[in-house]
Amino acid sequence: IAFAIGANPLLVGAACVSASAASSSYYIGADAVLLTSASTEVTPKGYIDALFPYAGIAYILSTAAYVAAGLIL
């Protein structure tokens, strides 16, 4: 698909890996969320609520980095 739309396949692959890692960390039913909330005795919703501002910052920074890399490469 990357070749078909003229995108850099390395950037597309990196974006897919980043999306996969982010979704496993921010999804309320993911093992990372459940294990962390169980070991810290916090509810999964409380964990997600605490993580959300940092996830937003990471989303903004990674989006900017991917756009910049796309323009440079």
pTM of the model: 0.66
- Cα 18 from chain centroid? 5
pLDDT tens-digit readout, 43-61: 999 988 998 898 889 889 9
- Both tokens of 36, joined, read 């962390």
Contact in structure between 63 and 11 (CB atoms under 8 Å): no
The pLDDT tens digits of the residues spanning 4-14 come to 988 889 888 88
CA distance 32 to 16: 19
pLDDT band with cut points at 50, 70 and 90 for residue 28: confident
